[in-house]
Amino acid sequence: MSSRLFSRVLDVAALGKFPRTQKWVWRRIYNMLSRFWGDSDWRFMNYGFVPTGAPFPLKPEDEAERAFIGLYHQALDGLQVEGARVLEIGSGRGGGSRYIARYYAPSAVTGLDYSPETVRRAQKLNADTAALTFTQGDAENLPFADAAFDIVVNIESSHCYGDVPAFAREVARVLKPGGWFTFADMRPKNQLAALDQQLGAPGLELVDKRNISQNVVAALNAAEARKQARIGKIPLLRRFMSEFSGSKGSMLYKGLSGGGVVYQARRYRKAG
């Protein structure tokens, strides 16, 4: 029952039946979270990824965030990032953009988020990182010039959008010819075919598509104790945060574990 209910919620969101309301609600949720949680050690808001093979290298100070960083490592693994201009759309509190800037030697990383409070939080949390900037903006109407970036990253954000095809067209527009778009997000299993069409913007060629649901579940398990310790400090929001964060027993956790919800990683390359 929980998996079906979660699927129905995502059905409404992904189909964009109420796009203005949907974007308004998500923006306010993230504004609220940014106001309530000013913790300096909370830079990530994704569900994470644990690879099936050997662990990737991390500096000791980043080990606590390994499960969450994993989604970014898999997104960029094998790409030529050194010297590249990178845009992260839906950058949240900035942990992913910070990881890219610190580990991959890009020429510049820009993090864009729809929530102004979240952008302010990201700027504060990551002020010590060179070649990294954050700006407020709409994924469906990006405030950048054509061909401004070599790589566009979008992690666990697109399910909040009112118009995913418009987002994909904007990605294609701001990518330079030959540039890469690396994407990871979840959808109900019955919406995967629709996602193919939504992300299939002219000029974007699908190069790789993987189901990483079990890797995400492994990350949720790995982060459960730390997550519960933090949620336990806010009893009035415990139920909401347990569902929102994908804790064990939540609708999302059951959906991913049972296969009703699929978490996909994709890579597209711009023609030319």
* Domain-embedded: residue 99: yes
3-state SS class at 175: strand
Tell me the per-residue pLDDT of 186-244, one tens digit each, with 9 for 90 and over.
999 999 999 999 999 999 999 999 999 999 999 999 887 777 666 656 665 666 666 76
Q: Sorting pLDDT into bands at 50, 70 and 90, what band is 154?
A: very high
> Cα–Cα distance between 35 and 233 in angstroms, integer?
15
Tell me the per-residue pLDDT of 70-122, one tens digit each, with 9 for 90 and over.
999 999 999 999 999 999 999 999 999 999 999 999 999 999 999 888 899 99
As a whole-number percent, the residues of the chain with pLDDT over 70 amount to 78
Residue of 53, 7, 59, 23 whose CA lies nearest to 163: 23
* Domain-embedded: residue 42: yes
The CATH number given to whatever domain includes residue 71 is 3.40.50.150
* Domain-embedded: residue 30: yes
* Domain-embedded: residue 120: yes
Tell me the β-bridge partners of 268.
Answer: 181, 206
Question: What is the total count of domains within the chain?
Answer: 1
* Domain-embedded: residue 102: yes
> Cα–Cα distance between 162 and 14 in angstroms, integer?
7
How high is the pLDDT of residue 5?
A: 42
How high is the pLDDT of residue 15?
A: 45
How high is the pLDDT of residue 11?
A: 47
> Cα–Cα distance between 220 and 203 in angstroms, integer?
35
Assigned token pair, 66: 């390994």
Q: Find out whether 256 and 187 touch, Cβ atoms under 8 Å.
A: no
* Domain-embedded: residue 242: no
* pLDDT for residue 36 is more than 90: no
* Domain-embedded: residue 239: no
How high is the pLDDT of residue 247?
A: 74
Tell me which of 52-66, 75-89, 118-132, 248-262 is least confident: 248-262
Q: Sorting pLDDT into bands at 50, 70 and 90, what band is 13?
A: very low
How high is the pLDDT of residue 128?
A: 93
Tell me which of 37-41, 63-67, 123-127 is least confident: 37-41
* Domain-embedded: residue 166: yes
**Containing domain of residue 73, as a range?**
17-211+262-270
